[in-house]
Structure 1
Amino acid sequence: MTTTQPESFHSLGTRARLMDLFASGSDGARGYSTEGDVLVSQTADQIDLNTIWAEAQTVMGAWNRERTALASLISYSTTNVGDALPQTIGGDHFEVASEFGEPTGLRAEPDALILGYDFQDYDLASRMTWKFLRSASAEQVRSVINRALESDVRLTTGTLLRRLFNPVEGANEHMHRVFGLWNGADGMTPPSHAGQTFPAQTSHYLVSGNTALDPGDLVDGMNQVRSKGFGTTPGSRLLVLCHPNEADVISSFQAGKVTNGVESKHDFVPSASAPAYLTPENIVGQIAPAEFGGLEVSGSYGPAWIVPSYYLPQGYIAVVATGGPNSSSNPVAFRQHPSVAYQGLRTIAGRDQRYPLQDSFFQRSFGCGVRYRGAACIVQVKASGAYTAPTWSWT
C-alpha cells in the first residue's frame, strides 16, 4: 500500500492559496479545476476543512503523549526488537575486604533471558468522500476522528492485555522468542531469589479451584509475584487489576471471615475515593489514594491496591507489580518503530493533498512482549481444569 505523509502545518497557507486559485478558475484551461474541488473547501456549517485537519493533527499529538492509563501502567515503551534482562531483582553481594586480595567484580548478568517483542503495522481508513464533506457538519467529521481514537485505545490496550493474559509463546521477525509470564510448560524455570528456588513447573497462570473468587486467590497471586522479588522494592507498587464485578467481591473480604472455605488474612479497606461510610473499626495506617496513574483505586487488600476496570475480563484477576506509568520495571514492553516519524498514532492525508480529510486514514505501528516474566500473575476463577486465556469482547 502506497502512503502519503501528512502535510505539515507550514504548508497550510500554501494549500489555501492553491484553493483560491482553483476556485477562481484561473487554471481551468488545463482542466484541473472541478466543481468538487470548490464544494469541499468547508463543511455544511461553514467550518473550513483545513481547520478540522489542523485540529486532527493537534489531537493526535496529545493522544500520543497520553496513552491510555491502563496500558501505560503495565507497559514500557521501547524501540528495541528484544532485550536481554535478568528475571529477578538483586543478587550481587559485597564481601569482606582483605589487605592484598582483589574484590569480586560485577559482570554482565549471566542469568539474563533474551526476550523478543513482535511488531505489526495497522491502519484504518476514514473513507470521507467529497460529497459527504460537502453535506456533513463539523461535528460529524470530528466524530469520525473520535471513532479512530477509540479504535486505537482498543487496539493498543487490548494487544498489551492479551499478551499479559496469554501464556502462548510467539516469535518476532528476527525469530526472537516472544514470551508470556512463567507458565511451567516451555522448559524454563524462574531463577532463584533471596535463597528461594522454584520448581520447573512454576506457573504464573493459576486456576482458583472455586467457582467464586476468594481471599486465597489474591494471596496466591501476590505471593507468586513477591517471591520473585517484584512489588517489594521502593518505587514499585502491587496492583490487583480486575473487572468491577470481581472488585465488588474483593470489597467484602474481612480479616478472619471465611469465603469458600478460605479465611481472609487481611481486610479490604476502601480508598480515599470511596463514598462516606460508617464502621465500628478503626483504620490503622494510610489508606489507598483515590487514583493511581490515572486509574481509579477502589481500596486495598494487604499490600495491594485494587484497580477495577471494565477493560479487564470477568472471571480473572491480574496481580501486577508496576513502577508507574511507562516505567522500565513494568512487565510488558510496548515496541515502537526506531524512527520517531513512525511512532504513535498518525494521520495520513488522502490522495488529494489540497483536501487531506478526503479518503485520509489513521496508522499505528507497534508490538509487544513480556519483559519480566515474574512481575505479574493471572488467576482464573473456575472450579477445575487448566488455565485458559480469556476471550475479549471489546478488542
Structure 2
Amino acid sequence: MNTLISQLYASGGDSGQGYATEGDVLVNQTADGVDLNAIWAQATSAMSLYNRERSALAALISYPTTNVGDAIPQQAASANFEEASEFGEPVGIRAAPDALVLGYDFKDYDLASRMTWKFLRNATAEQVNAAINQALEADNRLVTGKLLRRLFDPTEGTNEHMHRVFGLWNGTDGMAPPPHAGLDFPSTTSHYLASGNTAIDPGDLLDAINAVRLKGFGASVDTRLIVLCHPNEAEVISTFRAGQEANGVPSKFDFIPSESAPAYLTEENVVGQVAPGEFGGLEVSGSYGPVWIVPSYFVPAGYFAVVATGGPNSARNPIAFRQHPNPAYQGLRIIPGRDQRYPLQDSFFQRSFGCGVRYRSAACVVQVTPGSVYTPPVWAWS
C-alpha cells in the first residue's frame, strides 16, 4: 500500500493528478494570441510612466514629501536687507518664529483585478488592458479626490504621530494668520466662505482673491493665482465684463478668453498678455484680473477655490502629498497574484499616501450658496 501511494505521488497516478510543473501551463496567452507576460511587462511599464506623470490637478496643488509633518512659517515674506555700517555686523537670517507644526496623514489603499486563468484564456488583450486602465482611473480619482477634500474641508484631523492635520484657516481653532505688510488678522479669519448668493458673482471672486493676496501669497513672480472650479461656474465667469453687473454685482475686470479659446469677433482690443491655453497640463479657459480660470469636473459644482500655486509639485503649493520614505512603496504599484508564473492572475493594485495643508493662507474656498455658513461638499464621484 505504501509503495502504491508513493508511486501515485511521484507519477500523478492514472488520473493525471499530482504536482503541476512549469510546463503545465494553464494559460499563457489571451484569446487573440497576445502573450500574457508581454501584457504584464506593459502594465508595469505603464505604472512607472503613470507615477512620473501624476495627475495634473493633484500635482498643481500639492508638493510630494516623505515627512510625517513639517514646521513651516505661514508668512510669504522673506528676509530683508538693512543699511550696512562701517564696523557693524549684518543682521542674520533665521527661521521665522511663527512656524506652525503641520502634520500629514497616511493610509494604505488597494484594489484587486480578480482575473482568473479561465477569464485570461478567453479574454482579448483589449479586455485585459481595460481592467488595468480602470485601476489607473480609480487611482487618479483616489489621489485627486483626497487632495481636493483636504483643500475644501476645514475639518482638522491627526496622523499616527498625533500631529495635527490642518485645512486652511477656518476661524474656529483659535489660530490667526500671521501679520503681513502691516496688516493684522483676527483669529476669526476664515478661508472657507459662503457667497450668500445662488450664483457666482464678481464679488465672490474678488473676496477669495483678496483673502489670499493680502497674506502675501500669489503676489510674487514664482507663484500664480488660479481658480479651480466646475465648468458650470467657469461658464458664468466667462460672462463677466468690467463695469457691468453680473448676478447683481458690478464686475471690476473683464473675462479674457485664453489662447486655446475658439475664434471669436470683438470690437475691443485686448491690452496685456492673454492667458495660455494650458497650465501644468490643465486647460485654462481664460483670465479674470490676476487669476487664470481652470475648469475641472473634479471640482464639485457650486464651489470654487482660488489657489496660489508654484506649478506642478512645487514646494510653494498649499498641500503636502505624503509618500512612504521607502521608494519601493511610493506611487501606484501593481503586485502579482499568488502564482508568480502568471502574475496577471489575481493581481492587485496598491497605493500608500496621505496629505495635509502646508500653507493655510495659500488658498481660499467659496461655496456658492444663499446661506452664510460654509458647508463642505459631498463628493459623489468617489
- The answer to whether the Cα contact below 8 Å between 1:165 and 1:389 also exists between their aligned partners in 2 is yes
Counterparts of 1:279-318 in structure 2, within 5 Å, are: 279-318=266-305
Tell me the residue number matched to 1:173.
160
* Counterpart residue type for residue 187 of structure 1: G
Structure-2 change in CA distance of 1:215 and 1:36 (3 Å)? farther
For normalisation by structure 1, the TM-score amounts to: 0.91
Specify which of 357, 368, 371 is matched with residue 355 of structure 2. Answer: 368
Instruction: Say whether the 8 Å CA contact 1:348–1:363 is kept in structure 2.
Output: yes
1:82 to 32, 49, 69: 69
1:13 corresponds to which residue? Answer: none
What CA deviation, in whole Å up to 9, does each residue of 1:36-74 have, x standing for no partner? 952311111111111111010000000000011111000
Task: State the partner residue of 2:259.
Answer: 272
Q: Distance in 1 between matches of 2:326 and 2:80?
A: 40
Q: Is 1:387 paired with 2:374?
A: yes
Measured after TM superposition, the shift of residue 134 of structure 1 is 1.2
Q: State the match for 2:110 in structure 1.
A: 123
Write the letter of the residue equivalent to 1:313: P
Return the alpha-carbon distance in structure 2 between the equivalents of residues 37 and 77 of structure 1: 46
Q: Distance in 2 between matches of 1:78 and 1:186?
A: 26
Where does residue 252 of structure 1 map in the other structure? Answer: 239
- Contact 1:27–1:33 (8 Å) recurs in 2: no
Could you give the per-residue CA deviations for residues 249-286 of structure 1, whole angstroms, max 9, x where no partner exists?
00000000012331100000000111111111111011
What's the counterpart of residue 7 of structure 2? none
One-letter amino acid matched to 1:245: N
1:203 aligns with 2:190: yes
Identity %: 72
Provide Cα deviations, 1:207-240, integer angstroms capped at 9, x if missing partner: 1111111000000000001011111111210000
Check 1:128–1:93 CA distance in 2 against 1; reply closer, same or farther (3 A cut).
same
Cα separation, 2, equivalents of 1:153 and 1:207: 29
Alpha-carbon distance in 2 for matches of 1:108, 1:299: 38
For residue 142 of structure 2, give the secondary structure of its aligned residue in structure 1.
helix
- Counterpart CA distance in 1 for 2:300 and 2:284 is 17
CA distance in 2, matches of 1:376, 1:90: 16
Structure 1 outlier segments of 4+, above 6 Å: 26-30
1:243 counterpart = 2:266: no
Kindly indicate whether residue 332 of structure 2 is the aligned counterpart of residue 345 of structure 1. yes
Alignment match, 2:60:
73
SS of aligned partner of 1:269: strand
Q: CA RMSD in A?
A: 1.7
The correspondence for 1:63, drawn from 20, 27, 50, is: 50
Shift of 1:385: 3.2
Shift in CA distance, 216/133, structure 1 to aligned 2, threshold 3 Å:
same
Distance across 2 between alignment mates of 1:253 and 1:116: 39
Alpha-carbon deviation of 1:35?
11
Q: 5+ residue gaps in structure 2?
A: 1-9
Q: What corresponds to 1:261 in structure 2? A: 248
Q: Does 1:38 align with 2:38?
A: no
Q: State the Cα distance separating 1:351 from its structure 2 match.
A: 0.4
Cα distance, 1:220–1:117 mapped onto 2, change above 3 Å? same
Instruction: Could you tell me which runs of 5 or more consecutive residues in structure 1 were left unpaired when the two chains were aligned.
Output: 1-25
139-148 vs 86-95, greater mean Cα deviation? 86-95
From the superposition, tell whether residues 289 and 191 of structure 1 become closer, same or farther in structure 2 (CA, over 3 Å).
same
2:150 alignment partner AA: R
When structure 1 is superposed on structure 2, of 127-136 and 337-346 the one drifting more is 127-136
1:36/1:130 contact within 8 Å kept: no
C-alpha deviations, 1:149-204, integer Å up to 9, x for none?
A: 00000100000000000000000000000000011111100000111111110000
> Residue 232 of structure 1 is aligned with which of 203, 206, 219?
219
- Give me the whole-angstrom Cα distance separating, in 2, the residues matched to 1:348 and 1:378: 38
Q: Tell me the CA shift for residue 92 of structure 1.
A: 2.9
Structure 2 distance, partners of 1:214, 1:241, is 15
User: Aligned equivalents of 2:78 and 2:341: distance in 1?
Assistant: 61
The question of whether the paired residues in 1 share the 8 Å contact of 2:243 and 2:251 is answered with yes
* Contact 1:122 1:365 (C-alpha < 8 Å) held by counterparts: yes
Q: Is the 8 A contact 1:91 1:193 kept in 2?
A: no
Which residue pairs with 2:322 in the alignment?
335
Contact 2:226–2:309 (8 Å) recurs in 1: yes
What is the aligned length? 370
Residue 195 of structure 2 contacts residue 372 of structure 2 at CA under 8 Å; is this kept in 1?
no
* Alpha-carbon distance in structure 1 between the residues aligned to 2:286 and 2:259: 8
- Is 1:219 the counterpart of 2:206? The answer is yes
Alignment-mate amino acid for residue 252 of structure 2: K
**Counterpart residue type for residue 337 of structure 2:** G
Deviation at 1:27, TM superposition (A): 8.9
Give 1:103 deviation, angstroms: 3.0
